[in-house]
Chains A and B, each alone.
Chain A
């Protein structure tokens, strides 16, 4: 389950437009969600969750996030990625012409099935992309069963 709704950050994103139109409809017809996530924000990092035979792989775009500002944890099969994105430009009294990015704290949580081995999780940060590999427990990995002809 996603606690935090993701909104695309790219400009002129047709998918975002559809989202916006749907939200507008929801607003007009009074179908606004009564419940929103506690850590909902306008924008939060985009993630991919892929399942393959051996593991679940979470990939998260975190451009400009320093390793020291990032925290990845797992408790009761809930993976939490949280941190803070800081403005790294060292300028004072700047005249801002365009500001498309966001800065601040973010958090995303993902519920994972209990087939994940919490002791073998690996997280790697490279070029602003976080990749968390969550291997499945040995006993749940699919096994090839040879079918014999009798």
Chain B
């Protein structure tokens, strides 16, 4: 009973994220240690980028002498604006780090407007 309840009420934390933009691409780097490729779910739903990763619960057999790691799953959501191409999202999972590459739409790449002085 307790175990069942524990499974349902498992906590969720935000993965540590780095976001940068370079060469028409937006690159997200999310640290999700303990999440394998198969336990990861990345989707776009109604202008929202949803990233969810499940990981094994920490070992409950035995006595904890030090407990610093969070016994929780990972989840984070981002809103996307119209400049992001929904059909061109690349995701690579390596060593517990998710690398997401979002491409900016060709048409919405900013055109530089020259500012003149009179």
Contact = CB atoms under 8 A, between A and B. Distances in A.
Interface of A: 2, 6, 8-12, 46-53, 56-57, 59, 61-66, 88-89, 91-101, 110, 126-129
B50 interface: no
B58 A59 contact: yes
A10 B69 contact: no
Interface of B: 13-14, 16-23, 27, 29, 31-36, 55, 58-59, 61-70, 94-97, 99
17 contacts: A46-B70, A48-B69, A49-B65, A52-B62, A62-B95, A63-B32, A63-B95, A89-B99, A91-B27, A95-B20, A95-B21, A96-B18, A97-B21, A98-B20, A100-B17, A127-B33, A127-B34
Contacts of A57: 59, 62
Nearest to B23: A91
A10 B32 contact: no
B69 A91 contact: no
Given A50-B62, A52-B61, A92-B22, A12 B97 contact: no
In the A-B complex, the 8 residue pairs with the closest CB atoms: A128-B96, A52-B62, A63-B96, A94-B20, A63-B31, A128-B33, A49-B66, A94-B22
A10 B22 CA distance: 26
Contacts of A65: 95
A101 B95 contact: no
B64 to A, nearest CB: 6
B33 A61 contact: yes
A10 B13 contact: yes
Given A63-B95, A89-B20, A127-B36, 10 more contacts: A9-B16, A52-B63, A63-B97, A95-B20, A95-B21, A98-B18, A127-B33, A128-B33, A129-B33, A129-B96
